[in-house]
C-alpha cells in the first residue's frame, strides 16, 4: 500500500534560505509549497494545504507568532515549526507559549530541521497542549546570547517557564544564575507573586533554618518576637536558593521535607505550614563531589535536580561578547554614563580574554572603560592596557571565611595562648558579648542610629535592643 508523502508548507522571506529548505525537505520525499509572506501563507492555510508548517517568525508583512492563533483555530491538527534570527529568550518563551511544535534559532543545521520535521510528521493526529496565556513581553531582556550553548538554555527555559518544576542552575560565579532564576519567575505563571532570593553562603550556619522557615516567639534565646521566614515571604511566588551547596545538613533535611511533603515547620512551631512556592536553586559547586564527601544529601540533590540548567562560562561562548557589550553600553547610557562604542578590533581583543569572572567581569570592565577612557571609540589598545593594569594590581585571592569558622579560629587561638591552663569561668557569656557588641554596633551604623530599624533587622524587640545597648555600653544616636 502506497503512503501519501506529507505535505510541508514553508514560509520564509529570504529566497536563498527558502530554496535550501525546500530542497532538503524534497530529498526526504516530502512535497513542499512555499511562500515569502504572511498573506501568501494564510491563503495556503485557508485552502487546506499542508500537513506541517515551517515558518520564519519575522515575515515582511507580519509576525508568524501573531498569526499562529488563527492558524491553530483553522488547522488545530497542524504541527508548526518556527525559525527565528532574533534568538532571544523572550522569542523562545513566546514560541513555546503559543503552542509551536519546535523552535529553531537561526543559524541552524539542516539536519536539525529535517529531524524536527520528521518528528512533526509523526505527531500528526495527536492531541496538542493548549497554548498558554502569554506573558507580558518586552524585547531586550537581561539575558543575552546567540551562541548555541545559550540557545539551548533559552529553549530549556522556555519549556519549563510555565511550570512549577524545581530547577537547579549550575555554573561558575558571574555566569548569570540569578538572572536566569529571575527570568523563570518573571515569565512564568507565578510572576504576580514575590521573587525572594536568599544566599546560603552569606548566612551564619546556625541561623539558616530560622531565616528559611521562620521562628516562633521564644523558640530560642533572643527570639523575642515571631519572625517570618523566606518560605512565608515567597508565598505564591518563587524562592531562589542561591549557593545551595553551602546549606548545613540540618537545613538540608528540612528542605527535603518541603520538596517531599509540600510543608515546613517553623523553628519552635508545633504545626507544619503548607508551602506554596516554586523553588529554584543554584550553585557554583560540584554537588556530586559534595555528596561523595558526605556534605550534601543525595536524596535532596535528586529532588532539586528535576530540571538541570548548566550555564556556560563566557570563555565557551565568545561569540556572545559583542552582543553583551552592546547590551551593557545601552544599560550604562540609560544610567547616565558616557555614550561610547567599541571598535571592531576592541571586540576581537575582548574575545581573546579568559574571563575568570565571566559576564560580571565583562560588565565591570565595560563600565570602567566608559569612565576612564576619554575617547568616543574604545580600541583594542585601550582594552589591552586596562586588562594589563588589572593583572598588575591583582592581589592574592582572599579566602572569605564564614562567621562560624572565624569564631572557631579565635577560640582555638585563645585556648592555645592559655598554654594548657583552664580559662576563667564565664567564657560562654564573654564570647557571646564579643560577637554581640560588633553586631549591634554595625547594625546601628547601617541604620544611622535608628533603633527601630536596627531592632527589625536584628529580629529582636526594640526594648531588648535598648537594654543591650545600655548593658554593653554602646552609644546610639537615637
Cβ atoms of 188 and 195 closer than 8 Å: no
Return the pLDDT at 396.
47
Query: What are the sequence ranges of the domains in the chain?
Result: 7-122, 148-310, 314-392, 419-472
In angstroms, what is the C-alpha Rg of the chain? 29
Domains 7-122 and 148-310 share a fold: yes
State the pTM of this model: 0.70
Task: Provide φ and ψ at 427, rounded to 5°.
Answer: -60, -40
**Residue located via cell numbers 541604620:** 447
In DSSP terms, 59 is beta-bridged to 62
What is the CATH superfamily name and number for domain 148-310? P-loop containing nucleotide triphosphate hydrolases (3.40.50.300)
Q: Which CATH architecture has domain 419-472?
A: Orthogonal Bundle (1.10)
pLDDT (tens, 9 = 90+) of the chain, 478 residues, equals 446 889 999 999 999 999 999 999 999 999 999 999 999 999 999 998 999 999 999 899 988 888 988 998 899 889 999 998 877 888 888 888 888 899 998 888 899 999 999 999 998 877 655 555 544 444 556 789 889 899 999 989 998 988 999 999 999 999 999 999 999 999 988 999 999 999 998 888 888 888 899 888 877 767 778 888 899 999 999 999 999 999 998 899 999 999 999 998 888 888 889 999 999 999 999 999 999 989 999 999 999 999 999 999 999 999 999 999 999 999 888 888 888 999 999 999 999 999 999 999 999 999 999 988 888 999 999 998 888 876 655 544 545 556 677 777 777 776 776 667 777 777 787 777 778 888 888 888 787 777 888 888 888 888 788 888 877 777 544 4
Q: List, in order, residues 6 or more apart from 286 with CB less than 8 Å away.
A: none
- Distance of alpha carbon 203 from alpha carbon 234, whole angstroms: 18
Instruction: Report helix angle 462-472 to 451-458, nearest 10.
Output: 100
Among 1.10.8.60, 1.10.490.10, 3.30.390.50, 3.40.50.1360, name the CATH number for the domain at 314-392: 1.10.8.60
Return the pLDDT at 63.
87
Return the pLDDT at 475.
59
Instruction: Assign a CATH topology to domain 7-122.
Output: Rossmann fold (3.40.50)
Cβ atoms of 128 and 76 closer than 8 Å: yes
Cβ atoms of 33 and 60 closer than 8 Å: no
What element of type H or E holds 54?
strand 52-56
Amino acid at each position: 500500500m502506497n503512503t501519501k508523502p506529507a505535505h510541508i508548507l514553508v514560509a520564509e522571506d529570504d529566497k536563498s534560505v527558502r530554496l535550501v529548505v525546500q530542497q532538503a525537505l524534497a530529498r526526504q520525499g516530502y512535497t513542499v509549497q512555499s511562500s515569502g509572506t504572511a498573506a501568501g501563507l494564510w491563503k495556503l492555510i485557508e485552502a487546506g494545504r499542508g500537513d506541517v508548517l515551517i515558518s520564519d517568525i519575522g515575515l515582511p508583512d507580519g509576525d508568524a507568532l501573531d498569526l499562529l492563533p488563527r492558524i491553530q483555530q483553522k488547522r488545530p491538527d497542524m504541527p508548526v515549526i518556527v525559525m527565528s534570527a532574533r534568538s532571544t529568550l523572550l522569542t523562545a518563551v513566546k514560541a513555546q507559549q503559543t503552542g509551536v511544535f519546535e523552535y529553531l534559532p537561526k543559524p541552524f543545521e539542516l539536519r536539525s530541521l529535517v529531524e524536527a520535521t520528521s518528528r512533526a510528521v509523526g505527531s500528526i493526529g495527536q492531541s496538542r497542549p493548549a497554548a498558554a496565556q502569554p506573558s507580558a513581553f518586552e524585547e531586550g531582556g537581561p539575558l543575552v546570547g546567540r551562541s548555541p550553548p545559550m540557545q539551548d538554555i533559552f529553549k530549556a527555559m522556555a519549556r519549563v517557564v510555565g511550570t512549577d518544576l524545581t530547577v537547579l542552575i549550575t555554573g561558575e560565579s558571574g555566569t548569570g544564575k540569578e538572572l536566569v532564576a529571575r527570568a523563570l519567575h518573571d515569565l512564568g505563571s507565578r510572576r504576580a507573586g514575590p521573587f525572594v532570593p536568599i544566599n546560603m553562603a552569606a548566612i551564619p550556619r546556625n541561623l539558616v533554618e530560622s531565616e528559611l522557615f521562620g521562628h516562633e516567639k521564644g523558640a530560642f534565646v533572643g527570639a523575642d518576637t515571631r519572625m517570618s521566614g523566606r518560605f512565608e515571604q515567597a508565598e505564591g511566588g518563587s524562592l531562589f536558593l542561591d549557593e545551595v551547596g553551602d546549606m548545613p545538613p540540618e537545613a538540608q533535611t528540612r528542605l527535603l521535607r518541603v520538596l517531599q511533603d509540600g510543608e515546613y515547620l517553623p523553628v519552635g512551631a508545633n504545626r507544619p505550614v503548607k508551602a506554596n512556592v516554586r523553588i529554584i536553586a543554584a550553585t557554583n559547586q560540584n554537588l556530586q563531589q559534595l555528596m561523595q564527601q558526605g556534605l550534601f544529601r543525595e536524596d535532596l540533590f535528586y529532588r532539586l535536580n528535576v530540571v538541570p540548567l548548566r550555564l556556560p562560562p563566557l570563555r565557551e561562548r565568545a561569540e556572545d561578547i559583542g552582543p553583551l557589550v552592546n547590551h551593557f553600553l545601552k544599560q550604562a547610557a540609560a544610567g547616565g554614563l558616557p555614550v561610547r562604542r567599541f571598535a571592531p578590533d576592541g571586540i576581537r581583543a575582548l574575545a581573546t580574554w579568559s574571563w575568570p569572572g565571566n559576564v560580571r567581569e565583562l560588565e565591570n570592565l565595560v563600565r570602567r572603560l566608559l569612565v576612564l577612557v576619554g575617547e568616543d571609540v574604545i580600541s583594542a589598545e585601550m582594552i589591552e592596557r586596562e586588562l594589563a593594569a588589572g593583572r598588575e594590581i591583582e592581589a592574592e585571592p582572599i579566602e572569605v571565611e564564614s562567621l562560624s569558622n572565624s569564631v572557631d579560629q579565635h577560640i582555638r587561638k585563645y585556648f592555645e595562648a592559655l598554654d594548657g591552663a583552664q580559662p576563667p569561668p564565664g567564657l560562654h557569656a564573654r564570647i557571646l558579648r564579643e560577637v554581640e557588641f560588633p553586631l549591634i554596633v554595625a547594625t546601628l551604623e547601617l541604620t544611622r542610629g535608628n533603633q527601630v530599624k536596627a531592632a527589625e533587622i536584628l529580629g529582636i524587640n526594640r526594648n531588648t535592643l535598648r537594654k543591650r545597648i545600655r548593658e554593653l555600653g554602646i552609644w546610639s544616636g537615637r
